[in-house]
Amino acid sequence: RKRKLSPSAADEDTTAEDCPEEQEKKGDIEDSNSEDSFFAETFICDAIPGYDFLFTLRKHLEFDEALRVGAVIKHHGVDVGSLEGLLIDRNVRPCSRFHSLCDAESCELDGLGMLFCNADGTVRHADIDGLDFIKHNAASYAGFLHIEMVRVDPEHRHKDLGIQSTKALLEWLNARDGTVPATHRIHSSAEIRSHWTLAVIHTEFCDSDLPAEAGAKEVATRKMMLQFARLGFKQAQFGSSMWYLLPDRLELKSKLSIETLQISKIAEDPPLTEADKAVVKYFESFKEDPLEQFESEIRELVSAGANLKRVSALHWAVCNGAHAQPYLEVLLRGGELDVNGADSFGNTALHALATCVFKLNGAIMQEAATSLIALGARRDAKNVFGNTPLLALLREMRRNGDRFAAMGRWRFGNAVDDVDAEKDAYDLALALLMPDERAALFESVLTPRQRFRLVWYAETQSDELRLNMPKFPNGRPLPWDQRMYQVVYFEHIPPAVRTEKVSKRFVHGWSAVVDAVCATLCTASHPQLPTPEAVMKVLDEMVKSGQADERDTKCFFKNGGRIEFALDALERSARTTFLEVEYLELFDGECEEYDCLPTHPLDECWDMVRHALLGPRGRVEEGPWPIPK
């Protein structure tokens, strides 16, 4: 289902065609051209002398938050070019559905979505070159636009029709949400908007589409990338074929201005000899034989002509289960290998181990990491993407979690449902921390900034809940339409537990649980990580001391209430809402107390926090749940 770019893109630089795998998708696109799918369109006469542009928006047949984007280039009434794309309005998305939508649409969009966005569609600013959370926060909302294909007939190329039509289309999509000209027809019941804040494209050719000449792919790819650079597109990461554009960067630069643009690329590994391939094959079927036998087999491979450095033997070893320090020393003993030696991506053996986190047994990973560090492996070494082994591990964990979440399966790696594969990954993350970074963690979990955000929400939401407690006349249960939606964090209680009418004791029991969470985390004398067990102990003490009514808490738990609902709400607020709402709006982008706290590599590793509070992913369903108003 992957889209590919045709060889003619080297001339027009923005041309693409469908792979055979996309034939099934074509049927969907043709169906979307029916009158029922119509959303909006406009016609620009003489956009370029002699050429007209027709832009259309049509509803997606499967997803309510997506629109099919199309453009047709006409010359004297004859179609000579076209553009296709997909726009996802992330403001109307259901929670955690973004990656599922991308995966269902195409492999190319799936890859783009995984690189640029979190599961809820918000942008991964730290992963993308040139994006800053504060300056470019708007890119996380509204439209995510994937430009799938731009085609121009051969006889009409070299006139900038491809990029001119692309620029005009991008401008129209954002302009039509403001004052809409009378020539635009808009579907009367539409709630989705066409305004985009992030446009993306995959600039990669399929080899079958290119001439056989050596270097044809590199030349054609560079020409195409330069054309998109003229519009303001920027390479997402070092060596990446994925590019992106923000609305305020959209322009049409001259060819001369971008002629010398530096486009980064990954160096190719040197070719392997047959002797080198024998080393790879040996480690792919590696079994921990006696040390003497292992040493003898490595000597034989080297005697046969294998170059352990060229083949990155240490990388292959740790990724296939070689973990004991004496075995790794055998590989290093000859002086040919360096424990910090890197491949073409700049990955050391410690980086390689981090990317195998869901392939290896947890104990083996721990010992391999310990052995490498003892042999001098640097935990602060960076690859070409600027990632240390720890950051490479976190990225692999996130990619794996996103992939399984997109398929509706809340588990990590190949672990069976009763195995906590996440714990092994988090234990490896702790092993890859520098000593001072590990010492900075509260309860070996929370970074200083994470703890600040959790404490801030625990205190403020506990106070707000007491202040906004609804009144229950004569103690009767209240229906939803009577201020129940104002109860703090109530949307994190599943509908089956909340029921249509809510009793006074249930709400007061919920308030006691929220207070207990706050007391667990924020007690000055003995603050603790608010696990369900720790919170329950504090709640019992509150009942004994008269701070909470036992009848309220019994009613809450008897009717299906759980402490985990409050912890889910607290973690989600600290993870997303603090930076997106409080930090930007309440603190106006500056919070002296928060900004003075030291940064930490795990600051945004909230999955690790959630695991510590609620256990393996999937054991507690993630809110919020919709509440009728």
In this structure, the answer to whether residues 159 and 33 fall within a common structural domain is: yes
What confidence score (pLDDT) does residue 47 get? Answer: 87
Q: Which of 73-82, 291-300, 454-463, 576-585 has the lowest mean pLDDT?
A: 576-585
3-state SS of 296-341 is HHHHHHHHCCCCCCCCCHHHHHHHCCCCCHHHHHHHHHCCCCCCCC
For position 362, what pLDDT does the model report?
87
pLDDT at residue number 432: 95
3-class secondary structure per residue, 271-290: CCCHHHHHHHHHHHCCCCCC
pLDDT, residue 556, reads 95
Write down the pLDDT at residue 588. Answer: 64
**Of 399, 522, 179, the residue nearest 391 (C-alpha):** 399
Nearest in space to 576 (alpha carbons), one of 140, 126, 110, 142: 140
Residue where a domain terminates, one of 390, 406, 432: 432
269 within domain boundaries: no
Is pLDDT at 27 greater than 50 in this prediction? no
Q: What pLDDT was estimated at residue 330?
A: 93
Confidence bin at 580 (pLDDT 50/70/90): low
- Is residue 115 domain-shared with residue 173, that is, in the same domain? yes
Please tell me the distance from the alpha carbon of residue 180 to that of residue 196, in angstroms, as a whole number: 16
Whether 187 has a pLDDT exceeding 70, the answer reads no
Say if 581 falls within a structural domain: yes
Same structural domain, 203 and 325: no
Q: Which residue has the higher pLDDT, 395 or 232?
A: 232
| pLDDT for position 7 | 33
Average pLDDT, the chain: 84
Residue 39 confidence class, pLDDT cut points 50, 70, 90:
confident
* Structure confidence at residue 419 (pLDDT): 60
Residue 16 has pLDDT above 70, yes or no: no
The reply to whether 32 and 163 lie within a common domain is: yes
> Which runs of consecutive H residues, i.e. helices, occur in 81-138?
98-105, 107-116
Q: Identify the domain containing residue 609 by its residue range.
A: 448-614
pLDDT at res. 26: 44
Q: Is the pLDDT of residue 207 over 80?
A: no
At 210 the pLDDT is: 55
> Residue 455 domain-assigned?
yes
Q: What is the pLDDT of residues 301-330, one digit of tens each?
A: 999 999 999 999 999 999 999 999 999 999
- Average pLDDT rounded to a whole number, residues 423-451: 94
Asked if 547 contacts 518 with a C-beta cutoff of 8 angstroms, the reply is no
Residues 223 and 282 in one domain: no
pLDDT tens for each residue of 496-525: 887 778 889 999 999 999 999 999 999 878
176 confidence band (pLDDT: 50, 70, 90): confident
Q: For residues 116 and 219, state if they share a domain.
A: yes
Look up residue 202 and give its amino acid. H
Give yes or no for residue 444 having a pLDDT over 80. Answer: yes
Q: How many domains does the chain have?
A: 3
**What pLDDT does 13 receive?**
42
In the chain, the percentage of residues whose pLDDT exceeds 70 is 83
| Domain end call among 258, 293, 322 | 258
- List the single range of 14-28, 319-333, 532-546 with lowest mean pLDDT: 14-28
pLDDT score recorded for residue 369: 96
Print burial letters for 12-23: b (CB count within 10 Å at least 16), e (below 16): bbbbbbbbeebe
Residue 239 has pLDDT above 80, yes or no: yes
Predicted confidence (pLDDT) at residue 586 exceeds the cutoff of 70: no
Most confident of 206-210, 354-358, 426-430: 426-430
Task: Give me the pLDDT at residue 401, please.
Answer: 74
Output the pLDDT for position 212. Answer: 57
> Is 72 inside any structural domain?
yes
Instruction: Provide the whole-model pTM.
Output: 0.80
Q: Is residue 440 part of a domain?
A: no
Domain membership of residue 365 (yes or no) is: yes
Tell me if 438 is assigned to some domain. no
Among residues 476, 478, 357, the alpha carbon closest in space to that of 421 is found at: 357
What span, in angstroms and rounded, lies between the C-alpha atoms of 519 and 543?
13
Residue predicted with more confidence, 217 or 393 = 393
Give the model's pLDDT for residue 193. Answer: 86
Q: Which residues pair with 82 in a beta bridge?
A: 72, 151
Which residue, 381, 401, 432, sits at the end of a domain? Answer: 432
- Range with lowest mean pLDDT among 402-416, 494-508, 517-531, 576-590: 402-416
Which residue, chain included where needed, has tokens 């990029």? 163
Asked whether residue 381 is domain-assigned, the answer is yes
Tokens 């007209």 sit on residue: 52
Encoded amino acid at 206, one letter: C
What counts of helices (H) and strands (E) characterise the chain? 23, 10
Say if residue 62's pLDDT is above 60: yes
Higher pLDDT, residue 87 or 221: 87
Between strands 478-479 and 234-235, the pairing is unpaired
The verdict on 85 and 228 lying in the same domain is: yes
Does residue 389 sit in the same domain as residue 291? yes
Please report which confidence band the pLDDT of residue 405 belongs to, taking 50, 70 and 90 as the band edges.
low
Residue count of the chain, please give it: 629
Q: Are residues 221 and 340 in the same domain?
A: no
Q: How confident is the model at residue 483, as a pLDDT? A: 61
Q: How far apart are CA 339 and CA 625, in angstroms?
A: 50
Average pLDDT over residues 530-557: 96
Q: What backbone torsions phi and psi does residue 453 show, to the nearest 5 degrees?
A: -65, -40
Same domain, 423 and 452: no
Phi-psi sector, 6: left (phi>0), alpha (psi -120 to 50), beta? beta
DSSP-assigned beta bridge partners for residue 44:
53
Residues 253 and 283 in one domain: no
Taking only the tens place, the pLDDT of each residue in 601-628 is 999 899 899 999 999 877 888 888 776 5
Lowest-pLDDT choice from 2-6, 228-232, 416-420: 2-6
- Judge if 419 and 455 occupy the same domain: no
- Tell me the HSE value of 323 on the side-chain side, using a 13 A CA sphere: 17
Residues 484-507 as b or e (16 or more Cβ within 10 Å = b)? beebbbbbbbeeeebeeebbbbbb
- Other C-beta atoms within 10 Å of 288: how many? 13
Angstrom distance (rounded) from CA 222 to CA 113: 23
Mean pLDDT of 430-456: 95
For 137-169, the pLDDT digits (tens) are 899 988 999 999 999 998 998 889 999 999 999
**Residues forming a β-bridge with 407:** none
**pLDDT confidence of residue 327:** 94
Residue 410 predicted with pLDDT over 70: no
CATH number at residue 284: 1.25.40.20
Separation in Å, CA 371 to CA 293, 326, 328, 375, 382: 20, 9, 8, 6, 19
Give pLDDT, residue 181: 32
Mean pLDDT of all residues in 570-589: 75
